[in-house]
């Protein structure tokens, strides 16, 4: 870590020792070496953040914004920012939105309302990019969104991939740029956009809890991001042992420490995202992380690693979930029946899967992983879609 970063971290720790009940206890118990600090999880934020004991919220700072974080896992979770902290994030996001130019007409399809952060952040960022803004929001009904788009003909859409794919039509000849965040596009969705001659770029790697972590330059692959090293300390930890990973190409969970968040600190936060360090050819001279999906979507079977996303890519546009049987080393692909008559060529799908991930190929060819298909009338759900179920 550079001296400047060390100094920044030191300042944060000093502040928290004096003003934060939760972290003053943590530093007393574990010392101040970051490597010894226990990981922060969503559950801990829920327990000691604004929705819980509030021990994690620093004294002597005024709360600016309170945001809810998704609400995808049952109980709500809240996170707060001072206005200064909010502005720091906006400035960094401006760099993520470098592909938005003054002459652009931009449809903001991030989700507004419900105490969500993304729309509010992004709208502020777009304003700073000095483009023309259509503040539509993905919460508006789809027909209405399409009406706005067809009427104003924006050349740029920003939003979540699922949302964008729902409204986009190949007749939108005026559309030239798509900036996305929150999840990854599948290969097929990307092909659709590239066929329309759209520039597709990530609008940054961020989470509401940890705020912005990385940005994408023009050279990087669609799932790669340079780390904002002056803002976040990013660690990669082994999926089973939690040990730190420094080498390239080994998959781990992304853990971040935000150096600018004093009010609702984010120290060694387990993001739930999978990634690996990669080398790049660009001139940015920053560490680069490649995103590989969600921790929950990672599957290790018969010592082979693969992801829900591998299957989702192959089966797109069908809706699927995976059922894993460890005893039999078996993956059952649950395919949602649609109104159309479904027939799937088993051998062709297996071939595609083998091309998608070499570990799957080896597992299937060595007969150590079995893959079966099953049609179901509806996929397993709680209050969100479940991608992977274990038997």
Write out the residues near Zn ion by the rule CB under 5 A: 217, 219, 282, 284
Burial class of residue 171 (count of CB atoms within 10 Å of its CB; 0-12, 13-18, 19+): exposed
Quick one: 284 or 368, whose CB is closer to Zn ion?
284
Q: How far apart are the first and last CA of the chain?
A: 44
Helices (H) and strands (E) in the chain, counts: 11, 20
3-state secondary structure of 328: coil
Shortest distance, position 283 Cβ to Zn ion, whole Å: 7
| Closer residue to Zn ion, CB minimum distance, 137 or 224 | 224
Nearer to Zn ion, 219 or 248 (CB): 219
- Which of 159, 190, 153 is closest to 171 using CA atoms? 153
Within 18-173, strands assigned E span 65-68, 78-81, 105-108, 132-134, 156-159
Pick between residue 1 and residue 284 the one whose CB is nearest to Zn ion.
284
* Nearest residue (CB) to Zn ion, 282 versus 342: 282
Toward Zn ion, which CB reaches closer, 219 or 249?
A: 219
**Nearer of residues 29 and 248 to Zn ion, judged by Cβ:** 248
* 180 neighbors 225 (Cβ within 8 angstroms): no
What is the C-alpha to C-alpha distance for residues 198 and 385, in angstroms, rounded to an integer?
29
Nearest-approach distance from CB 205 to Zn ion, in angstroms: 13
Q: Is the CB of 219 or the CB of 242 nearer to Zn ion?
A: 219
Min separation Cβ 286 and Zn ion, Å: 7
Secondary structure (3-state) at 180: strand
Locate 364 and state its tokens: 């299937």
- Report the alpha-carbon angle 382-384-390, nearest 5: 60
In whole angstroms, give the CA distance from residue 57 to residue 19: 9
CA angle (74 as vertex; 71, 79 as ends), nearest 5: 40
Question: How near is the Cβ of 354 to Zn ion at its closest, in Å?
Answer: 32
Pick from 311, 328, 335: which is nearest to 370 by CA?
Answer: 328
Q: Shortest gap between Cβ of 225 and Zn ion (angstroms)?
A: 9
Least Å distance between CB 201 and Zn ion? 12
Buried/exposed code over 247-273 (b: 16+ C-beta within 10 A; e: otherwise): eeeebbbbbbbbbbbbbbbbbbbbbeb
Closer CB to Zn ion, residue 217 or residue 266? 217
Q: How many CB atoms within 10 Å of residue 291?
A: 22
Least Å from the CB of residue 290 to Zn ion: 13
């Amino acid at each position: 870590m550079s001296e400047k970063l060390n100094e920044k971290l030191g300042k944060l720790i000093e502040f928290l020792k004096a003003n934060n009940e939760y972290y003053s206890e943590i530093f007393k118990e574990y010392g101040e070496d970051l490597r010894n600090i226990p990981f922060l999880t969503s559950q801990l934020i829920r327990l000691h953040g604004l929705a819980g004991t509030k021990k994690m919220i620093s004294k002597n700072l005024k709360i600016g914004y309170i945001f809810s974080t998704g609400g995808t896992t049952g109980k709500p979770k809240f996170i707060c920012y001072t206005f200064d902290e909010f502005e720091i994030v906006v400035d960094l996001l401006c760099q993520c939105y470098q592909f938005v130019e003054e002459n652009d007409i931009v449809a903001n399809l991030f989700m507004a309302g419900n105490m969500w952060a993304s729309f509010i952040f992004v709208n502020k960022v777009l304003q700073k990019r000095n483009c023309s803004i259509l503040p539509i929001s993905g919460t508006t009904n789809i027909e209405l969104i399409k009406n706005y788009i067809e009427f104003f003909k924006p050349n740029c859409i920003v939003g979540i991939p699922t949302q964008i794919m729902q409204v986009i039509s190949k007749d939108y000849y005026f559309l030239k740029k798509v900036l996305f965040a929150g999840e990854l596009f599948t290969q097929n969705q990307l092909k659709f956009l590239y066929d329309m001659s759209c520039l597709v770029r990530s609008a940054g790697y961020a989470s509401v809890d940890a705020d912005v972590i990385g940005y994408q330059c023009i050279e990087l692959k669609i799932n790669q991001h340079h780390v904002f090293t002056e803002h976040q300390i990013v660690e990669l930890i082994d999926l089973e042992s939690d040990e730190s990973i420094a080498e390239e190409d080994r998959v781990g969970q992304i853990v971040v420490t935000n150096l600018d968040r004093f009010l609702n600190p984010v120290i060694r936060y387990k993001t739930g995202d999978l990634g690996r360090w990669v080398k790049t050819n660009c001139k940015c001279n920053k560490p680069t992380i490649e995103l590989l999906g969600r921790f929950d979507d990672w599957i290790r079977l018969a010592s082979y690693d693969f992801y829900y996303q591998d299957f989702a890519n192959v089966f797109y546009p069908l809706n699927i979930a995976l059922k894993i049987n460890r005893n039999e080393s078996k993956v059952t692909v649950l395919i949602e029946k649609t109104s159309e008559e479904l027939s799937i060529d088993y051998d062709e799908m297996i071939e595609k899967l083998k091309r998608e991930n070499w570990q799957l190929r080896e597992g299937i060819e060595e007969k150590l992983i079995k893959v079966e298909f099953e049609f179901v009338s509806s996929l397993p759900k709680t209050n969100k879609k479940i991608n992977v179920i274990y038997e």
